[in-house]
């Protein structure tokens, strides 16, 4: 539909003459698109905040640990305590080929680390180098533990963010410097800024990680492990192999393979699936509510345009009498509807973006933006296209009515 300069001037004149009606018409569309953008941006921010709780954590991980038995088995009574050992690590790795990474974990809580006059009490965690594939570190300085550290039992450590802030208040790169834990000096080789809220025997920002082999010998912890973390290979569903892993572990500890409380497993793949499904439902509701509000605004535009056409019956009839074609009348009414809808809608988009930017400003800490409460450019453009379509649809019925006005009927109406 092509609009010449004269037609566009007539559209603006019509909107100016009916200023109060135009404002009323535009408000419904403005509110509709404003709510839609606000809901989309808010939903995106909420999803990002939720995902930060899982930051650095593999989505296909399972964590196994020992609990009390709830079923008798082969002469052993229920309510029996037991512990996993390093032999379980080897059995699981060798007998369950569907697994990718198998990594044990031992932890001591409430260990005090000190450096000069600074102290911090947190978790001391013994891990292998491949643990980084379970809980991926977000290294701010240095590196993570490697195979040489494990094999040679090096006295090195990777510290969490809070540990770093407390022991090194002056800031700067702490790598190469030493901290003391229980009388043993460890050289810092990395700083992990991972702030995810999934805690595996201690929050990542309050944890000091050292080679598992060193921790086992230094604290005389024997063959016991506290957790066994493992990930599935690509294309393997964790829920399908958990019973097999449980059976491998239970078999060597005289535990009923169906006793889920004895060999307790946390399937994070299932947790991630639940969260993903939740936000799919939230996004559907957001679009449903937003589009419903927009549609209500478009219906309001159509009704107001219909009233406008009725009031301008004489004007349209005179234009028809002096040579205006039905196509010209149709173009003007639809164009007027598009201009009103698109102008109000774009103002709603801009206003919502400003509000969301203010929310983002409030979520900034230490100069770092914690989450993005904002809509993408593609979403804004899609919304503008949707507004144009709604403008055409809203102006269709009034324009058809205007086309059917005959000059004689218009004069009679006058």
Q: What is the per-residue pLDDT across 268-302, written as a single tens digit (0 to 9) for each?
A: 877 777 777 777 887 788 778 777 777 777 777 67
The tokens of 79 are what?
Answer: 């309510």
Q: Choose one of 204, 221, 238: the last residue of a domain.
A: 221
Same domain, 196 and 293: no
Task: Select from 215, 278, 225 the least CA-distant residue to 63.
Answer: 225
Nearest-5° Cα angle at 107, 105 to 272: 55
Q: Is residue 161 part of a domain?
A: yes
Same domain, 303 and 407: yes
Q: Is residue 367 part of a domain?
A: yes
Q: Is residue 258 part of a domain?
A: no
Report the C-alpha gap between 134 and 138 in whole angstroms: 13
Query: What pLDDT was estimated at residue 48?
Result: 74
Q: Is residue 85 part of a domain?
A: no
Q: Are strands 207-211 and 118-127 parallel, antiparallel or unpaired?
A: parallel
Same domain, 45 and 161: no
Query: What pLDDT was estimated at residue 44?
Result: 76
Q: Choose one of 203, 221, 239: the last residue of a domain.
A: 221
Query: What pLDDT was estimated at residue 411?
Result: 52
Same domain, 287 and 358: yes
- Positions of the chain with pLDDT lower than 70, given as ranges: 1-26, 28, 50-58, 196-199, 301, 304-305, 307-324, 326, 329, 363-370, 395, 397-414
Query: What pLDDT was estimated at residue 8?
Result: 47
Same domain, 15 and 116: no
Same domain, 131 and 208: yes
Query: What pLDDT was estimated at residue 107?
Result: 93
Q: Is residue 148 part of a domain?
A: yes
Same domain, 311 and 391: yes
Q: Is residue 120 part of a domain?
A: yes
Q: Is residue 293 part of a domain?
A: yes
Query: What pLDDT was estimated at residue 178?
Result: 95
pTM equals 0.66
Same domain, 49 and 123: no
Same domain, 13 and 120: no
Region class of 260: left (phi > 0), else alpha (psi between -120 and 50), else beta: alpha
Report the C-alpha gap between 6 and 152 in whole angstroms: 85
Same domain, 307 and 401: yes
Instruction: Quote the number of domains for the chain.
Output: 2
Report the C-alpha gap between 340 and 328 in whole angstroms: 18
Q: Choose one of 190, 221, 252: the last residue of a domain.
A: 221
Same domain, 116 and 178: yes
Q: Is residue 304 part of a domain?
A: yes
Same domain, 48 and 111: no
| Segments forming the whole domain that contains residue 26 | 5-54+273-413
For the chain, give the number of residues: 414
């Amino acid at each position: 539909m092509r609009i010449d300069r004269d037609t566009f001037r007539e559209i603006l004149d019509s909107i100016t003459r009916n200023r109060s009606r135009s404002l009323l018409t535009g408000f419904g569309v403005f509110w509709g698109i404003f709510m839609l953008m606000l809901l989309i941006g808010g939903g995106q921010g909420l999803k990002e905040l939720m995902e930060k709780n899982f930051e650095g954590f593999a989505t296909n991980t399972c964590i196994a640990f020992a609990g009390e038995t709830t079923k008798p088995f082969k002469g052993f009574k229920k309510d029996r305590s037991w512990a996993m050992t390093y032999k379980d690590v080897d059995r699981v790795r060798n007998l369950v080929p569907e697994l990718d990474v198998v990594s044990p974990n031992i932890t001591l809580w409430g260990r005090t680390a000190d450096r000069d006059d600074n102290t911090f009490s947190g978790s001391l965690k013994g891990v292998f180098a491949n643990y980084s594939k379970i809980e991926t570190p977000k290294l701010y300085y240095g590196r993570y533990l490697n195979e040489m550290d494990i094999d040679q039992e090096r006295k090195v450590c990777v510290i969490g963010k809070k540990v770093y802030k407390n022991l090194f208040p002056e800031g700067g790169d702490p790598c190469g410097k030493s901290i003391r834990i229980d009388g043993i000096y460890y050289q810092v080789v990395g700083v992990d800024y991972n702030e995810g809220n999934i805690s595996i025997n201690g929050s990542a920002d309050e944890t000091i990680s050292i080679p598992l082999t060193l921790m086992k010998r230094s604290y005389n912890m024997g063959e016991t492990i506290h957790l066994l973390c493992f990930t599935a290979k690509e294309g393997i569903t964790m829920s399908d192999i958990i019973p097999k892993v449980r059976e491998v572990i239970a078999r060597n500890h005289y535990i009923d393979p169906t006793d889920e409380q004895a060999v307790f497993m946390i399937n994070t793949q299932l947790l991630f699936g639940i969260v993903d499904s939740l936000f799919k439902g939230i996004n559907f509701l957001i679009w449903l509510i937003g589009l419903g509000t927009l549609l209500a605004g478009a219906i309001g535009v159509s009704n107001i345009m219909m009233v406008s056409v009725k009031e301008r019956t004489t004007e349209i009839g005179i234009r028809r009498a002096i040579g205006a074609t039905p196509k010209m009348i149709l173009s003007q009414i639809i164009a007027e509807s598009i201009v009103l809808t698109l102008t109000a809608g774009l103002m709603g988009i801009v206003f919502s973006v400003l509000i969301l930017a203010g929310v983002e400003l409030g979520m900034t800490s230490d100069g770092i933006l914690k989450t993005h409460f904002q809509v993408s450019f593609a979403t804004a453009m899609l919304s503008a296209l949707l507004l144009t379509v709604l403008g055409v649809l809203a102006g269709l019925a009034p324009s058809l009515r205007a086309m059917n006005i005959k000059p004689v009927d218009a004069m009679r109406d006058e």
